Amino acid sequence: MTSDRRTFAIISHPDAGKTTLTEKLLLTGGAIHLAGEVKARGQARRARSDWMKIEQQRGISVTSSVMTFERDGITFNLLDTPGHEDFSEDTYRTLTAVDSAIMVIDAAKGIEPQTRKLFEVCRLRSVPIITFVNKVDREGRPVFELLDEIADMLALDVSPQMYPVGMGGEFQGILDFASGEVVVPEGPSKEFKGRRVADFDLPEDIAENVELAQIGYPEFDLDAYRNGDLTPVYFGSALKNFGVVELIEAIAKYAPPPRPQPAGEEQIAPDHDEVTGFIFKVQANMDPNHRDRIAFMRQVSGTFKRGMKLTPSGLGKPVAIHSPILFFAQDREVADTAEPGDIIGIPNHGTLRVGDTLSEKNQVRFTGLPNFAPEILRRVALVDPTKTKQLRKALDDLSEEGVIQVFYPEIGGQWIIGVVGQLQLDVLISRLSAEYKVEAKLEASPFATARWIKGDEKAMAEFEKFNLSNLAKDRDGDLVFMAKSPWDVNYQEEKNPDLTFSATKER
């Protein structure tokens, strides 16, 4: 029942071609009307101030957070991971809602820092990865060098499925190992049109390399790929729309259909006998005056029907989902049901939080949606000190949305906010002002990172007694150790073997 869904994300370093590839995937599949929109965002992103404006208008990013296209009876749900230089927790969390990922690599650059970071997040959850080496229409690095770099830097088996016949000016086509055919460019150079040639006469050096590529690397193994241990590698040019069809076909053929999701000790499979899902993202709606939000739910099991009552774990009482945004249909208006793997946008007034489970019976709790230890910590200072209440409300709201994390120190009244990337700070200040009418400044804090502490009562009490000035509570009231340096963390870990200092917190 669920095998026709493929829910995935694209991970890449900025400029590798994610936007271009997204556009071509949508064009090749049946969602042409979205393509221009994606491009517009790509350009806007380049200027940070533009991006902020776009984000504030919200409408655009809400609709393109989930892009759906269909091809040969398969429905593809592509979730957008925000692509800026800086990292946000949003990106991490989106990756908890997919079943697989496409890793786009620039043929001239190989594995770049952001690719690697995102890959590590995928690895945490064994998310299977298909690699797309992009920009073969330009001069790139030698193929074996690229393959070895992926294998070495990511500690992953690579299994090439294709071989580019030349790159850049020498580019003649791409050999597809499965069929033995070479896909050659045809038509005006701007938009290549692939034609398959069965008896392509390979230049001698390429023929040798092809043989080496086939015997020197592991054969494709579906289980190894689905366990996240092996990545099949495809080559192409998103710009010239070359190799994109082959990529879609690979996703259709190999990428896993909706996977069971962890709920404590249990795994909830798509055929579980009720509708369940979890919120992985919350986004403020278009009108900042009415703080409406859209919560994005990844459906895990059951068949969702419009109007259905689901109970959010954070609320405890059922709510009827009357006006869900169902992204998968060409025409959103007529869609009335959704299947596991689909994403449902649920308008609400702040009742739904990132990490919440929604279900019919209110028995399942999905786990594994992490909070990450912030890498940047700042004190928040009010310009107008009478706005303390508004500030607290705003910080609570924004941390619910996952924009920031907030820490309330045990001693002193200066609240500390934590983020994973610098850009989140800009977003915070701009939204405080625009949506909450709170003017605030960020000041240096003495802390460099934070760790969630766990242990038995006695050990915790002992630790609290001696470290009060370095302790804070997070939004949920959980105890957090504010460390002045990574060294500080190590020191306390060694000194307190009965406690665990965790860099992530599961919600």
Neighbours of 178 (CB within 10 A): 12
Beta carbons of 236 and 131 less than 8 angstroms apart: no
Q: Which is nearer to ligand G4P, 109 or 475 (CB)?
A: 109
User: What burial letters (b/e) apply to 25-55, b meaning 16+ CB within 10 Å?
Assistant: bbbbbebeebbebbeebbebbeeeeebbebb
- Distance in Å, CB of 236 to ligand G4P, minimum: 7
Structure tokens at 123: 């690895």
Amino acid at the residue 440: A
Closest approach of Cβ 15 to ligand G4P, in Å? 4
Stretch in the footprint of ligand G4P (CB under 6 A) among 236-244, 316-324, 405-413, 448-456: 236-244
Closest to ligand G4P by CB, 84 or 379: 84
Among 18, 71, 293, 378, binds ligand G4P (CB under 6 A): 18
Strand, helix or coil at 249? Answer: helix
State which of residues 237, 276, 405, 445 lies at the interface with ligand G4P (CB under 6 A).
237
Return d(Cα 95, Cα 125) in angstroms, integer. 9
Could you say which of 9, 17, 96, 97 contacts ligand G4P (CB under 6 A)? 17
Find the distance separating the first CA and the last CA of the chain, reported in whole Å: 30
Minimum CB distance to ligand G4P smaller for 19 or for 445? 19
Cβ proximity of 243 and 162 under 8 Å: yes
- 323-342 residues in contact with ligand G4P (CB under 6 A) are none
Of 16 and 308, nearer to ligand G4P (C-beta) is 16
Q: Would you say 131 or 237 has its CB closer to ligand G4P?
A: 237
**How far apart are the C-alpha atoms of 131 and 119, rounded to whole Å?**
11
Site size for ligand G4P, by CB under 6 A? 17
CA angle, corner 62, sides to 56 and 66, nearest 5?
Answer: 150
Residues 6+ apart with CB under 8 A from 334: none
Residue 17 or 160 with smaller CB distance to ligand G4P: 17
Residues with Cβ within 8 Å of 408's Cβ and at least 6 positions away in sequence, in order, are 415, 416, 472, 473, 474
User: Binding to ligand G4P by residue 376, rule CB under 6 A?
Assistant: no
Q: How far is the CB of 87 from ligand G4P (least distance, A)?
A: 14
Q: Which secondary-structure segment (H or E) carries 162?
A: strand 162-165
- CB nearer to ligand G4P: pick between 112 and 266: 112
**Per CB under 6 A, which region of 134-142, 202-210, 317-325, 427-435 contacts ligand G4P?**
134-142
Residue from 239, 300, 354, 376 in contact with ligand G4P (CB under 6 A):
239
DSSP letters of 384-451?
A: SGGGHHHHHHHHHHHHHTTS-EEEEESSSS--EEEESSHHHHHHHHHHHHHHH---EEEEE-S-SEEE
Q: What is the C-alpha separation between 65 and 67, in angstroms, rounded?
A: 7
Report the residue number, 87 or 415, with the smaller CB distance to ligand G4P. 87
122 is a contact residue toward ligand G4P (CB under 6 A): no
Q: Please select the residue that binds ligand G4P; options are 15, 249, 435, 493, rule is CB under 6 A.
A: 15
Confirm or reject binding of residue 83 to ligand G4P (CB under 6 A). Answer: yes
Among 135, 353, 365, 378, binds ligand G4P (CB under 6 A): 135
423 scored as a contact of ligand G4P (CB under 6 A): no
The dihedrals phi and psi of 77, each to the nearest 5 degrees, come to -105, 110
Interface segment toward ligand G4P; rule CB under 6 A; list 8-16, 261-269, 328-336, 444-452: 8-16
Residue 192 or 407: the one with the smaller Cβ distance to ligand G4P is 192
Structure tokens at 174: 């791409």
Round to whole Å and give the CA distance between 11 and 81. Answer: 7
User: Rounded distance, CA 477 to CA 408, Å?
Assistant: 9
Q: Binding pattern to ligand G4P, positions 136-165, x when CB under 6 A?
A: -xx---------------------------
By CB under 6 A, residue 20 contacts ligand G4P: yes
What is the smallest separation between the CB atom of 241 and ligand G4P, expressed in angstroms? 9
Give the residue, chosen from 7, 12, 75, 357, that forms a contact with ligand G4P under the rule CB under 6 A. 12
Residues in the annotated binding site for GTP: 12-19, 80-84, 134-137
Return residues touching ligand G4P (CB under 6 A).
12, 14-20, 42, 83, 134-135, 137-138, 237-239
